[in-house]
């Protein structure tokens, strides 16, 4: 069992974002210019999440777009976002987007479903880069996959309470029937790194019991943490239920957006990725290395954690 992460549970705690270490990655001309050094650097795709869940999107982006540099921020010190009120999720997301904007990203991905539901429209005006979420891509994939027209959605309390998936699914196909279930215990399990323990399989099976009685043929994993639990969820739901993760579809959207605007990286060198988190850096690195093992083999990674300091409010 992995060590349990340090939690910053105070909702009133103030945070102070520390500036990233000034690091320059030399690339070919035609990329972004670093103002301090005058050398060319590769503009990254910035990806944020409430914790480690966004690594599922990182994995797909690395697989589909191996020449793109990634800067990732996981707010592990303040996860989970699901039980938090909307205004708090918006504030946290704004803080992280402001931090990531320092890297001059070509695109920002809000890889947290709760943050997408509550904060996506609030943060878009704050930066010049396009900001995309993960709800619409996942919903679109589910509409294509379902045969019966009845789709299940599991997510955090905040995502389910927002009704975001139901609205998007209905906008894509008005005849879709949606059965939603909040699974508040899932994110803490993933943040502890306990993906495959017998206790995890028991908790997942018990939580999903209500969905076993619903006439769904497709289940949206409406939280980017949930693909870590895909084996346990599949075991609980049975082989006839198709599981939909938004990560693959989101990566396709990113690729299409960058291609349409002629912003795909054409550089031949291997990018250097940067990862930040706000909580237990050792646990974060352990989970990230396990999940991204194939994608990061032989790829340089810079771990710069933590970059948030919690102070009493």
- List the structure tokens of 104: 């001059």
Distance between CA 103 and CA 229 in Å, rounded?
32
Active site residue 183: no
Active site residue 307: no
Distance between CA 313 and CA 311 in Å, rounded?
6
Q: Report residue 216: phi and psi, to 5°.
A: -90, 150
Write the DSSP string, 78-110. T---TTS-HHHHHHHHHHHHHHHGGG--SEEEE
Kindly give, in sequence order, each residue whose CB lies less than 8 Å from that of residue 232, ignoring residues fewer than 6 positions away: 195, 196, 200, 201, 204, 205
Report which DSSP code applies to 277. E
The single residue of 183, 223, 277, 307 carrying the catalytic annotation is: 223
The closest of 50, 100, 114, 106 to 71, measured between CA atoms, is 100
- List the structure tokens of 309: 């300091």
Separation in Å, CA 298 to CA 66, 79, 199, 269, 293 = 12, 30, 34, 12, 10
The rounded Cα 116 to chain-centroid distance in angstroms is: 10
Active-site residue list: 112, 223
């Amino acid at each position: 069992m992995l060590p349990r992460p340090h939690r910053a549970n105070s909702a009133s705690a103030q945070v102070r974002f520390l500036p990233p270490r000034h690091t320059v990655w030399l690339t070919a001309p035609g990329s972004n210019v670093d103002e301090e050094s005058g050398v060319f650097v590769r503009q990254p795709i910035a990806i944020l999440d409430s914790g480690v869940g966004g690594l599922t999107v990182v994995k797909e982006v690395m697989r589909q777009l191996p020449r793109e540099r990634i800067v990732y921020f996981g707010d592990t010190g303040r996860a989970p976002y699901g039980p938090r009120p909307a205004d708090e999720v918006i504030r946290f997301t704004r803080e992280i987007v402001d931090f990531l904007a320092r890297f001059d990203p070509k695109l920002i991905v809000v890889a947290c479903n709760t943050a997408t539901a509550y904060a996506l429209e609030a943060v878009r005006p704050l930066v010049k880069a396009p900001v995309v979420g993960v709800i619409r891509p996942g919903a679109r994939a589910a509409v294509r996959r379902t045969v019966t027209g009845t789709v299940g959605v599991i997510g955090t309390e905040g995502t389910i309470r927002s009704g975001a998936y139901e609205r998007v699914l209905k906008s894509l196909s008005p005849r879709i029937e949606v059965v939603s279930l909040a699974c508040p215990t899932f994110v803490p399990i993933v943040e502890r790194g306990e993906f495959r323990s017998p206790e995890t399989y028991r908790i997942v099976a018990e939580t999903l019991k209500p969905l076993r009685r619903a006439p769904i043929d497709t289940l949206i994993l409406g939280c980017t943490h949930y693909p870590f639990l895909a084996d346990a969820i599949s075991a609980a739901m049975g082989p006839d239920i198709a599981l939909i993760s938004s990560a693959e579809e989101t990566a396709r959207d990113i690729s299409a957006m960058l291609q349409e605007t002629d912003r795909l990286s054409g550089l031949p060198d291997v990018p250097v990725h940067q990862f930040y988190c706000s909580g237990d850096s050792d646990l974060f690195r352990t989970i990230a290395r396990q999940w991204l093992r194939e994608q990061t083999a032989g790829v340089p990674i810079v771990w710069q954690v933590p970059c948030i300091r919690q102070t009493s409010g």
